[in-house]
Structures are given as structure tokens and as C-alpha cells.
Amino acid sequence: MPSKRRIFQRKLGERRYRKLFVISVEGFTTEPQYFSIFNDLELVIHVDCLKDKNESSPIHVLRRMKKHLKETKLRNSDEAWLVVDKDQWTDEQLTKLYAWSEENENFGFALSNPKFEYWLLLHFEEGFGIVTSRQCSERLVRYLPDYEKSIDAHKISPERIADAVRRAKERDNPPCRDWPRNTGTTVYRLVTRLLNKSE
């Protein structure tokens, strides 16, 4: 007796994007708000941010991702990324995240030194002369006065995103293998993938 064919039916209103990006982030507010912008750009992608208000260390960022991938398998076209700040984290802590990203071609690791706000700053200017987290925040508030509460998505236009990618790429020269030891960010590598453009 032939086996019954299973019938798969997509729920009404449910759409599977061509590509899913799962991003485990250190920050609870800023990074999720920023990456949600890409869900509104009418791209054929969808971005899910994994976050936790109380556990933001690199090892927790990695644990969240591993837990998620155990529960939800990625398709071959999907990507999983870890996004963290340099802050006070040690090379030993960050090496674990980088090592994980090397396990699979669909995994990625992006770091901003000193912190994610440096990536935001590059949307508006070249970001020269930044060494500390405080300098970064003080400079960014000129362009995003309320960024500590929320990101004004209207100020993050596709043109500004392209400017940030260009500026970050110019600073990452020659390209670092793992993460920038000095002021810089490799978030542009993730954003380049989100925009489906070759690096």
C-alpha cells in the first residue's frame, strides 16, 4: 500500500523570505533597533535579533545563538552572525566567538571597537579621532540626540548606510582577519551581506 503523501500548506499571510539573518547581539536596544531597519527596506531578507537585557557578555551572545540554532535550523541560504563591542572584553573571550564563526561558511562575527555606536557614527562622518567609548557617544549625540532612548530610523537612510559601509571598509585596510584591534568596525561586512552586495 503506497504511503500517504504529506501535504504541506503555508498559513495564510505567512511569507518565507529568500534569506534569513539571525543576529545575536550584545545590546538590548540599539542593535535590535538598527538591524530592524533592514526589515523595512523592502529587501528579500528578514532579520531576527537575539537579545537579553541581563546577559550581554560575549559568551552569552554566543550561547544565545547556539541555543537558537539547536531549536531552529538554518537553511543553506540563511546566515547567523554574532555582533559585539570590544569594550573591556578580553581577546580570550572574543576568540571563542571568532572561532565559532569559522565553523560554518554561513556564520559570521562582527565587532565594533570601541562599541557599536562607532558604526552608527560612520553613517554621518568619517569618525576620526575616536579612541574611547565616551568620545564615541559624545560625537554621535550631535547627529542622533536621543539615540540612548531610540534610533531615529528616518536618519538612517540607504545613502547613509552606504556611506558607513564605505568609511568602515576604508578604515579596515588591510582587512583584519578576526576583529579590529584599534578604532574600527567590521559590521560593514554583515551589512554588505544584508544588502546582498559583494564585498
126-160 residue pLDDT tens: 999 999 999 999 999 999 988 876 788 889 999 99
187, 168 Cβ separation under 8 angstroms: yes
Kindly report the length of the chain: 199
Does some domain include residue 159? Answer: yes
Does some domain include residue 10? Answer: no
Does some domain include residue 165? Answer: yes
Domain containing residue 53: 19-194
**What is the model's pTM?**
0.87
Does some domain include residue 14? Answer: no
User: What is the average pLDDT value for the chain, to the nearest integer?
Assistant: 88
Q: Is 60 exceeded by the pLDDT of residue 10?
A: no
Most confident range, picked from 10-14, 16-20, 165-169: 165-169
Number of domains the chain is built from: 1
Does some domain include residue 13? Answer: no
Does some domain include residue 24? Answer: yes
Does some domain include residue 6? Answer: no
Does some domain include residue 101? Answer: yes
23, 48 Cβ separation under 8 angstroms: yes
Q: 45 pLDDT band (50/70/90 cuts)?
A: confident
pLDDT score for 15: 53
